[in-house]
Every structure is written in C-alpha cells, then in structure tokens.
Amino acid sequence: MPKSKDRPSDDIDSHQPASPQHGPGDRASSASNYQGIKYGELVVLGYNGHLPQGNKGRRRSKYVLYKRPQANGVKPFRKHIVKNPHSSKAIQDSSQHSVTYTLSRNQAVIVEYKQDPDTDMFQIGRSSEDPIDFVVMDTIPGHMRTDSDTISQSTISRFACRILVDRNPPYTARIFAAGFDSGKNIFLGEKAVKWYKGEEIDGLTTNGVFIMQPQGGFNASSKTGVWREISVGGAVYALRESRSTPHKSNQVLDEDNILHDGTLIDLCGATLLWRSALGLITSPSEHEFEHLIEELNAGRPQCPVGLMTLVLPKKGTLGINDKQPFVYLKCGHVHGQHQWGQTKGGGDERTCPLCLSVGPFVKLKMGCELSLYVDNEHPTHCFSPCGHMASEHTCRYWAQVPVPHGCQGFHAICPFCATPLDADPGYMKLIFQDHTD
Amino acid sequence: MTGLGLPRRIIKETQRLLAEPVPGITARPDDANARYFHVVVAGPSESPYEGGTFNLELFLPEEYPMSAPKVRFMTKIYHPNIDKLGRICLDILKDKWSPALQIRTVLLSIQALLSAPNPDDPLANDVAEQWKSNEAKAIEFARQWTRQYAMNNQTPQPSF
C-alpha cells in the first residue's frame, strides 16, 4: 500500500491550490456528459443498482467514466535518486505528480510525472479526499448485511488504483496500482514490494490490485480467466503466494493492463466490473428489460398452492405480498408465499408441494443492475442461495467466476448481492406453472 | 351457502371443475355448503367396475389445501383398498398429501385406483384376501356388486 496511507496528508496539501487539470471543479463536469462521449462504467459487484444507503455523490454502486473537458492524465517523465524524499521539490510541489519508491531509510527513487494531453485519469479508492473520483468501501455480502453496517477495518487502500483512458478512439483504458493523493504523490514505503534494476523501477501495493480478463469477451459464451496483479507502473504479474506476501511473482509479458469489456478489478474488499461503452450495447436497456419481464408475466405464472397469479417484480421485490414469487432452491419450483412443508426443526428447509424435495424456500428478487448481464435474454434463472434472478447465461457466467475474498480465498458470488454461491452449480432454472389458462 | 369467506383457491378450483370436468367424473358443490361436493365417478372401462356409477362425497376441511380433502364412497364397492364404510386407502389423502394437489387430481387418483386395485396395501382385509387367493373370483364379486349397487343408482343414496 502506498506510504501515503499513514502520512498526514495536510503536510503538502497547503502549499498551492490544485492545478486546474484536476481540481474540485473538474469533477462536476466530468460526471456530466462532456461531448456525449462515455468511455465505460465501473460497477461494484454486490449491489443491485444502488448502495444499501443510496447512491450519493462519489459514493455509489456504479461510476460512469465520461470524457473530461480537459485532459488530466499524467505519464512518467524522468526519475532521480534522492536521500530525503520529503524535502525534494517534486514531492513538495503539489502541482507535480510523482511516485516515490523508498529503497532504504536514506535512499529513494522519485519518478516525476508530467501532464499527458492524450489521456484522462480516473482514481478509485476508499478516501473521500478530492483526488478520488470513485469512492469505494468494502462490500459486505448480502447475507451478512444489517441496517447499521459500519466497516471497522478496511482492506481497501485509500488511493487504490488509477485508470487512464485515451481521449481518442478506441478510448483504450489502462489500469495502474495506487492513486495519487492530495499532494499528487504516491509513496511506496520501505516495506512495499518494489524493484529497481537497470532502468526499471516498479512496485506493488500492500494488498495489491488484481484484474481478471474473461476469455472470449463479456458475452453469453465467455469463460472466466486468470487473476493477475497489476503493478504501480502498469505491468502484469502472476499473483503472489498470498495477497500481501512481500515478494513479487513472475511478470506475465504477453498480457497487459488494458481494461476490456468485462474485466474485473479487485481492490481487496471490493470487486469492480469494467464495462466499455461499446460492450454495454449488448446489455439490455431498462426498457428492453421491462419488456422481457412483461413477457414472462404474460404467461400468468401461478402459485400451485394458492392458485393466484404471481407477478415478477421489475425492480427488487414486489410490495404486494400474495403476488410475490418464491422458489424452492432444491428443485426450482416457483410458488407464492404459503405455510406448508416446514420441517420439524423449524429451519429454512421446506418441502416443495410439487415434487416433495426438501430445501430452502426463498423470495425471488430481480437482478436489475443490467450492466452485469452478459446477454439480453429473459431472467429465467436465479442464483442460489440468494434468489436473485437473471438470464441463464448471466447466472452461468458469474457462477464460474472466482472472486477474491479476504486475503486468501476465492469464491463465486452473486453479482447483485455478493453472497457466496452454493456449491456447483450455484444457480438454477426457475420452473413456473404458467400458461395454464 | 354463499361463497362468503371461501378461499379464492376453492372458488377457482370449483369454477374449473364445472367448466372443464374430468372425463368420467362429475363433481358438484352442494347448494348449502360450498366445501361439500357431490361426486360421481364412472367405473373405468376394462375394470370390474365398468358400467357402474359410483357416488362419493368430498369435503374440504377448514385447513384445505394445507390438509387433504376428506373423500368417501357412498356407493358400496368391492375393492381391496375401500372398506365397507366407503373409506379409501390412498397415500395422497394421508401422508403424501401436498397442497399442490387439487380436487381434480384426487379424483383422478381415485379413478386410477379403480383400474388398479392394490391388494398388498389393503383396507378391506377380506376383500384383499380374496383378491390374492383367487383373483378371478374377486373380480367376479366386484362385477356383481357393481351391477347390484352401482347401476340405476343415480337417485339420492341412503347413507349406511
């Protein structure tokens, strides 16, 4: 993690007003639709259209990257070795971007960055300080959420990563570990993983920035890819032995840090999906999606017990209780709410009236964050155990994607609520009693 | 009996039973009690009950559909799974009941039971014994009873 995390930030903040390329005023216009050019979207996995407490300002479940009125990207320019980095000009100059690699107590390499008129920069992290465009907090899985969630300890870096997008077509986006702080500095402390060989200087952040490129793009036939780590300089590495092992793995020379439609970005605590503007064309629009749901509802699915017509909700769950669909997760039979088949122990297990198989009975919820869909098909399947509905291929794709959790493991999660999925297959086909009339 | 307080499920089932009756079965709710049905089942062809019409009563208890309907043969019948009081030995009317079953499915199962008596799970022990020791004779008894009790019987039945 950048040393900046532990450093009081006001020691360099007070020197000069921020440069116009990346000042506070910049944000309002970057969030608006400059020249109508949208680069793409970053969607935090685990939310179904908004944060539990709502989307507010830079804290939201999805961030849209628009072309900025003025370029604010930076690129490496020159480097030099200093004895005391904190007194060096590049660091004290708060209009100058720099990355400091601390080699020992009295030696550091400072890489100075200069403005790049051809790229726009977007920064992501836990900090609500000004340089962060998209403030991301640790995601609590859906099944563990309560009304008063507070994160006591976060594993997400305050200045976790930065994305640079070419301002010209095809608007290539590249990701780099670590973000510049309010003083426009990135510090890699003595303990951070870094290497300085010949001309090359680079490093990794404490918990690292991982990416995963799906094989075959982001569509109905895509398959999960291999997770890689991205360095501060944007090079690709195999994952370390564990998340914060202080040794880098081998560089993967035939891969790059370019974000493709469907690339996942893991910040150790939150996982983001990159959807390119072009890729999003294949996702259903709100209107198309409502139409897909209307087509399912036109079959007048019926509860086999109450014989009432069920209604699939367009957003989340339905307010009207006796039309709300539920599913038996063992068999996929869809029912309305009813009191029958509760097992003696009083647990979640219930007996399906249609096939007598015993399993959990859960409320169906519509997966309505459409950027998570790999195709434009009817939401005929649901994730298990949470009951979020999506198209078959969307469920199948996410059920096979291992998403990092904590510092060691990976597991497949529901992209709408981050609940870990049940073992294979983690999703199921919904069986409606419809077209009965 | 008015339909007041009658669950929508029972109303819907009744409407469909009247609009699309099951072949060989009529089920009509009682004028005074919408939970009580007068049922007539025709003896299935190629069974010893062929040609007979069997009266049954079907009652939907308060907990229906969470518990099974109560069904009883009113017409005397010689069958190993139906006793002399007309009680029926059928798993879906007991522990295999599920609220996804309906009046319609219950009546279809009873019709199927007439086509395929199961003497290994008897209710009328003497009939089951006969069925196992001399099936031809048992079938002849069944035909006889059908002629005697289940033909020309479509006047209100005295209960026994």
Instruction: Write the ipTM.
Output: 0.79
Q: DSSP label at A266?
A: E
Place of tokens 């609590």: A140
From chain A, the residues in CB contact with B96 under 8 A are 356
Supply the pLDDT for residue A42.
98
Low-confidence ranges of chain A (pLDDT < 50): 1-32
B13 Cβ under 8 Å from any chain A Cβ: yes
A104 Cβ under 8 Å from any chain B Cβ: no
Supply the pLDDT for residue A19.
39
The minimum CA-CA distance between B97 and chain A, rounded to whole Å, is 8
Contact predicate A267/A209, CB 8 Å:
yes
The minimum CA-CA distance between B145 and chain A, rounded to whole Å, is 37
Contact predicate A314/A368, CB 8 Å:
yes
B99 Cβ under 8 Å from any chain A Cβ: yes
Query: Who among A308, A339, A354 is closest to B100 (CB)?
Result: A354
The minimum CA-CA distance between A307 and chain B, rounded to whole Å, is 6
From chain B, the residues in CB contact with A341 under 8 A are 98
B63 Cβ under 8 Å from any chain A Cβ: no
From chain A, the residues in CB contact with B65 under 8 A are 305
B97 Cβ under 8 Å from any chain A Cβ: no
A431 Cβ under 8 Å from any chain B Cβ: no
The 10 Å Cβ neighbour count of residue A380 is: 17
> Does A306 contact B66 at a Cβ distance shorter than 8 Å?
no
Supply the pLDDT for residue A148.
64
Contact predicate A272/A44, CB 8 Å:
yes
Sign of CA dihedral A67, A71, A77, A81: negative
B54: phi then psi, degrees, rounded to nearest 5: -110, 125
Residues of B identified as active-site: 89
A306 Cβ under 8 Å from any chain B Cβ: yes
Strand residue runs (E) in A239-380: 258-259, 264-266, 271-276, 326-328, 334-335, 349-351, 358-363, 365-366
From chain A, the residues in CB contact with B8 under 8 A are 306-308
Peptide bond into B65 cis (omega under 30): yes
Residue A223: beta bridge partners?
A215
Supply the pLDDT for residue A150.
65
> Does B12 contact A307 at a Cβ distance shorter than 8 Å?
yes
Query: Who among B12, B66, B98 is closest to A356 (CB)?
Result: B98
Spell out the residues 6+ positions from residue A254 whose beta carbon is closer than 8 angstroms to its own: none
Question: Along the 160 residues of chain B, how does pLDDT read in single tens digits?
Answer: 444 578 999 999 999 999 999 999 999 999 999 999 999 999 999 999 999 999 999 999 999 999 999 999 999 999 999 999 999 999 999 999 999 999 999 999 999 999 999 999 889 889 999 999 999 999 999 999 999 999 987 755 445 5
> Does A305 contact B8 at a Cβ distance shorter than 8 Å?
no
Residue of B nearest to A351 (CA): B98
Q: Is A27 helix (H, G, I), strand (E, B) or coil?
A: helix
A105 residue type, one letter:
R
From chain B, the residues in CB contact with A354 under 8 A are 98, 100
CB pairs A-B closer than 8 Å:
30
A339 Cβ under 8 Å from any chain B Cβ: yes
| pLDDT tens column, A384-410 | 999 999 999 999 999 999 999 877 789
In a mutational test of the A interface, the residue from B10, B20, B66, B92 whose CB has the highest number of chain A CBs within 10 Å is: B66
Restricting to A residues 54-73, those with a Cβ less than 8 Å away from any Cβ of B are: none
The minimum CA-CA distance between B41 and chain A, rounded to whole Å, is 25
Altogether, the residues listed in chain B come to a count of 160
Measured at the alpha carbon of residue A241, what is the angle toward residues A240 and A244, in degrees to the nearest 5? 65
From chain A, the residues in CB contact with B99 under 8 A are 304-305, 338, 340, 353
Residue A66: beta bridge partners?
A38
- pTM here? 0.85
Contact predicate A324/A310, CB 8 Å:
yes
A21: phi then psi, degrees, rounded to nearest 5: -65, -25
A308 Cβ under 8 Å from any chain B Cβ: yes
From chain A, the residues in CB contact with B101 under 8 A are 353
d(CA A362, CA A419): 14
From chain B, the residues in CB contact with A339 under 8 A are 66
Residue A195: beta bridge partners?
A202
Supply the pLDDT for residue A340.
84
Supply the pLDDT for residue A5.
38
B12 Cβ under 8 Å from any chain A Cβ: yes
